[in-house]
A and B are shown apart, each in its own frame.
Chain A
């Protein structure tokens, strides 16, 4: 027994790209059902959803409107439209049954994902979605009306146009050694000059005029902690995802803290260290991503970390070096792929959604409610 194949394979694939809304898909479905019915045929319409929590109000309304002339009793056929889902996303499945005979129609559609909600407390941790895309994001930076997205193989600059970000220009650093798995990247803005650290290059460009990357394979020290007086000369270990800064132990991220360092070491512990590497306190396992930000009220300093799965916390450390949550954690579903200080009052959290195969950048900050 063999396989016979006709038609165009790859050209059929764009048919699976979903750009229509639920309403558009329902209207399209109604049109095709209508075209398949005879002049005097009428249908009894049923709608359902395979998701018990799903709503089909929009679907019902659109179908009732689009098929109104066909919905007069007595019905000569039944039309059941089901809200389903496949690997590409949501899908409407229409079964048209006339006695023993049946036919079906399929109409995919698109649906946006909700943003995370911030918890409510006197000190409130907030995360605002800045950008989402399928390609990995290493860091993201907003500079006025421009947004720079650092990807493993590309630097993309977007310009704000009518409440949307439009790609202005993209440039690829010169190919060098292979990008390591779990690549690190960092963007820093100095006046109108952007510096982009990648595992195999340090690239610089101006935001004015056409973007012209100047890249050097010598990356030097990475700006781990943002604009603090205390700097940590850290270099990325080649072909790896962690830093070294002797006399500190190897680490993934670090934050300056009252003349000391909070370090997420590769050994699995988060530690408070003196600048000479002496351990002041072992703080437990905070994961691998930490960053320090200020709250606008009183300019208190806090640490951001993902101590529990799917949540981001703001943590204060008291005089006895004991950590405690300073605000209600916020839900951030997915893997925290990177956490960098953006400015003194915020950090950029890059989340990887394994279920949706997307990366999202959130600006995380603290607000003070009265």
Chain B
């Protein structure tokens, strides 16, 4: 029995064909990259160049990455030991030995040592996510940066363009594509134009564009709903410390019209931080709109004018922010939407980059500047922690939305279902 109804792959003709080697894929995105530090890159780009020590597969199970075996006997999670896989080569073709890896993994707050073929990392702070959260970055004496991933950096124009070339001796198999060219900071209108003209083969897609692209015969790749759209109050603002106001706004928001119209049913309304497909319990966090109670909460006091900030670089957020301001007015709250400057609360889109519920909750807490205490890392422990985080309406989850890409007809891939990123290393260009 499979309950999940989301369509993660839309390729009708994919499965009859073996992959073809060769070609250059051009990807356009509104994101921008100014540095080759993987921590400052979108994870889907970092994963093409660098590799972590371990990865979660699409079912949330921990699998080998650069490390083939590991153990953490330290209950404080400050010490991790592992063995590296054989045959790891850097992009310049040199072998990555345990000693070389240990030097690369040593960083402020973290020391890596080698004993035989075992690498041990001692961290100053607890690091339970070290295996999946640490990518191997090899730095040259001249400041150059390289990784071990399926693609190497061929050309880089910060903020503008990144050209990746296939890593010929990648131990996971050379990618099918010869090159991936990524163009940054592209406006949506420009991306659509380039897809139409054939200049680009993969572009970002907004919910309002999905149906049109499908009607034009384009493939639309959709991830699981992995981005959380939520309101987060700023704890240092006087208005935010009013619990009644926070509850009133949470009860005033009407999610369904926004989901139907603004998001074109791409995603799901939610009252949970983590999505239903990941935890299976998100439906427990209900989202009733209770306008009478919201009015009661605001009616008994003088309500200040609230300022809500929506990131101007994210075109999905401003229409939602405007709609939330209208909902708030129905409850007697006055909300002004701004692009920058001091604000009482923010409308945010937070990507969840892990299929492990505990790690995903930590990611969300970090992005929302919230505290989370996970007593245990069982699913029930995560659920309890999530409930505590949402108890006082400092955070109001609104929607979980997917990543959506439009792909030119000749682009094929074997990205697994429920993958959080479209895998360029598993893509190829089918001759037309």
Interface residues of A (CB under 8 A from B): 1-10, 12-13, 15-17, 49-51, 54, 82-91, 93, 95, 104-106, 108, 111, 175, 178-183, 239-242, 252, 266-268, 285-289, 306-310, 334-336, 352, 354-357
On whether the beta carbons of B62 and A13 are closer than 8 Å, the reply is: yes
Given the interface contacts A5-B126, A88-B59, A242-B18, does A181 sit within 8 Å of B175 by beta carbon? yes
Which of B20, B284, B379 is within 8 Å of A95, CB to CB? B284
The residues of A that contact B283 with a CB separation of less than 8 Å are 50, 82, 84, 93
Beta-carbon contacts under 8 Å, B341-362 to A: 355-356, 358, 362
Q: What is the CA–CA distance of A335 and B362 in the complex, to the nearest angstrom?
A: 35
B214 CB within 8 Å of chain A: no
On whether the beta carbons of A15 and B362 are closer than 8 Å, the reply is: no
Given the interface contacts A51-B3, A93-B281, does A355 sit within 8 Å of B417 by beta carbon? yes
What distance in Å separates the Cβ of B231 from its nearest Cβ neighbour in chain A?
A: 16
Contact with A along B257-280 (1 / 0, CB 8 A): 000000000000000000011111
What distance in Å separates the Cβ of B104 from its nearest Cβ neighbour in chain A?
A: 21
Q: What is the CA–CA distance of A131 and B20 in the complex, to the nearest angstrom?
A: 28
Contact with A along B368-383 (1 / 0, CB 8 A): 0111111111111101
On whether the beta carbons of B372 and A352 are closer than 8 Å, the reply is: no
Which of B12, B174, B371, B417 is within 8 Å of A1, CB to CB? B371
What distance in Å separates the Cβ of B137 from its nearest Cβ neighbour in chain A?
A: 21
Given the interface contacts A1-B365, A178-B171, A267-B431, does A87 sit within 8 Å of B355 by beta carbon? yes
Interface size classification for chain B: 35 or more
The residues of B that contact A108 with a CB separation of less than 8 Å are 280, 379
Q: What is the CA–CA distance of A85 and B277 in the complex, to the nearest angstrom?
A: 7
On whether the beta carbons of A16 and B169 are closer than 8 Å, the reply is: no
B2 CB within 8 Å of chain A: yes
Contact with A along B195-221 (1 / 0, CB 8 A): 000000000000000000000000000
On whether the beta carbons of A182 and B19 are closer than 8 Å, the reply is: yes
The residues of B that contact A336 with a CB separation of less than 8 Å are 15-16
The residues of B that contact A12 with a CB separation of less than 8 Å are 358, 376-378, 381
On whether the beta carbons of B86 and A180 are closer than 8 Å, the reply is: no
Q: What is the CA–CA distance of A289 and B58 in the complex, to the nearest angstrom?
A: 27
What distance in Å separates the Cβ of B117 from its nearest Cβ neighbour in chain A?
A: 15
On whether the beta carbons of B16 and A306 are closer than 8 Å, the reply is: yes
Which of A1, A111, A175, A352 is within 8 Å of B370, CB to CB? A1
Q: What is the CA–CA distance of A357 and B59 in the complex, to the nearest angstrom?
A: 8
Which of A7, A240, A288 is within 8 Å of B376, CB to CB? A7
B305 CB within 8 Å of chain A: no
19 more contacts with CB within 8 A, not counting A8-B75, A89-B59, are A5-B126, A6-B374, A8-B376, A10-B128, A12-B377, A13-B377, A15-B379, A16-B60, A50-B283, A84-B276, A84-B280, A93-B283, A95-B284, A178-B173, A242-B18, A307-B16, A309-B12, A355-B9, A356-B417
The residues of B that contact A105 with a CB separation of less than 8 Å are 380
On whether the beta carbons of A252 and B18 are closer than 8 Å, the reply is: yes
B415 CB within 8 Å of chain A: yes
Q: What are 26 residue pairs bridging A and B, where the CB atoms are less than 8 Å apart in the complex?
A: A1-B371, A3-B365, A3-B366, A4-B374, A5-B77, A5-B373, A6-B374, A6-B375, A7-B377, A16-B61, A50-B3, A54-B1, A82-B283, A84-B280, A85-B3, A86-B277, A86-B278, A87-B277, A181-B173, A239-B168, A285-B16, A288-B16, A289-B16, A336-B15, A336-B16, A354-B416
On whether the beta carbons of A85 and B72 are closer than 8 Å, the reply is: no
On whether the beta carbons of B175 and A334 are closer than 8 Å, the reply is: no
